[in-house]
Amino acid sequence: MSLSVARFTLDDLRAVLRTDTGLDDADEVTPVNAGREFAELGYDSLAVLELVSQLRRHHGVHIPDEALSEIPTPLRVVDYVNRLFAERAAHTGDGEA
């Protein structure tokens, strides 16, 4: 039996960057450059911390400070969030994250 797991996409990340953090550069995160580090895309460490805060607030995703080194790029954030959603779905058994 396959579980239906919530998916977090690059578009979702861009929406968080645009609306929840107040950062105007969200449109600069594209599939082409989403593998580049946030600093290369013009986001400082405070912007990344705000992103993490908003992910927790609006999506229920907790990213501990020690995991910040695992998410240096937008694609890594998307992968990390989806991994958390999958773990949550497996743990709860309901398929919803």
CA distances from 91 to 6, 19, 52, 87, 95 (A): 14, 30, 22, 6, 9
Q: How confident is the model at residue 97 (pLDDT cuts 50, 70, 90)?
A: very low
| pLDDT of residue 73 exceeding 90 | yes
What is the domain partition of the chain in residue ranges?
A: 10-91
Q: Which residues contact residue 93 at a Cβ distance below 8 angstroms, ignoring those fewer than 6 apart? A: 3
Phi, psi of 7 (to 5 degrees): -115, 140
Give the CATH architecture of domain 10-91. Answer: Orthogonal Bundle (1.10)
Q: What's the pLDDT at 92?
A: 77
Global pTM?
0.83
**Residue located via tokens 């694609």:** 75
Which of 25, 50, 23, 21 lies closest to 36 in space, CA to CA?
25
